[in-house]
Amino acid sequence: HKQIGTKPNGHKEVIDYCIAPSENIEVWTEMLQNMKSRGLKQVELFLSDGVVGMKTALARTYPKAHFQRCLVHVMRNICAKVRVDDREKIMNEFKQIHQQTSKKEAAAVLHKFYARWNKAYSNVIKGLKEIEPDLLVFYNYPKQIRASIYSTNMIESFNNVIKRKAKPKAEFPTEQSLDAFIGIQAMSYNDRYFNRIHKGFGQVQ
């Protein structure tokens, strides 16, 4: 489990990580409390996939923070539950949600999506409606940074670096050796992006 943050000045860094057998509310609460105890007093926006307990843990630790559900993960979940023949069509329509100029337009596209697919996939649409408050939060922010805050691509790219570098080792003999390896990758990532302003953030400081 990893947390990557972008500061108000646009610099990004790995804030924390932990090795845990599963994702649950206890793990996320502990990570968030650890971040707070280390001095991260307030967070404006949290962006996450659909991990169980994340939003509840967030409400306990950073109650003023806003929460955005990763739209790429939402789209993947939808695609896993629909017929293969419908996947491309559904994916192209769902992508329109994050390509609008305003939250109002995006909401209209989302509701059109509900109406179009509810008959064939009522459970999928029901699930979407339940998380709707977390789908369009990124539209509350300047358009220059929206592409960075509607999906967890930043963490996915860091995960890919870890996977690529871990491949030659195949497996780690102990949890400590895995922990040390990830720690080195995190420090390397932070060194690489030290003083670099993430796309769009320079214009909206």
What does the pLDDT look like over 103-153, one tens digit per residue? 999 999 999 999 999 999 999 999 999 999 999 999 999 999 999 999 988
Residues 106 and 161 in one domain: no
Residue 140 lies in a domain: no
Residues 62 and 158 in one domain: yes
Directed axis angle between helix 103-117 and helix 122-131, to 10°? 160
What secondary structure letter does DSSP report for 14?
Answer: E
Rg (CA), the chain: 18
Separate counts of helices (H) and strands (E) for the chain? 9, 4
Residues 162 and 62 in one domain: yes
Residues 46 and 89 in one domain: no
68-92 mean pLDDT: 96
DSSP SS3 for 122? helix
Question: For tokens 């990893």, what's the residue?
Answer: 2
Residue 146 lies in a domain: no
* 100 vs 52: CA distance, rounded Å: 29
Residue 168 lies in a domain: yes
The whole-number pLDDT of residue 140 equals: 97
Instruction: State the chain's mean pLDDT as an integer.
Output: 89
Model confidence over 148-178: pLDDT tens digits? 999 988 888 878 878 888 776 567 888 888 8
Residue 96 lies in a domain: yes
The whole-number pLDDT of residue 62 equals: 94
Residues 62 and 7 in one domain: yes
> What residue numbers bound the domain in which 109 lies?
82-133
For 152-169, letters b (16+ CB in 10 Å) and e give bebbeebeeebeeeeeee
DSSP SS3 for 5? strand
DSSP SS3 for 174? coil
Q: How many domains does the chain have?
A: 2
Residues 89 and 62 in one domain: no
Model confidence over 145-154: pLDDT tens digits? 999 999 988 8
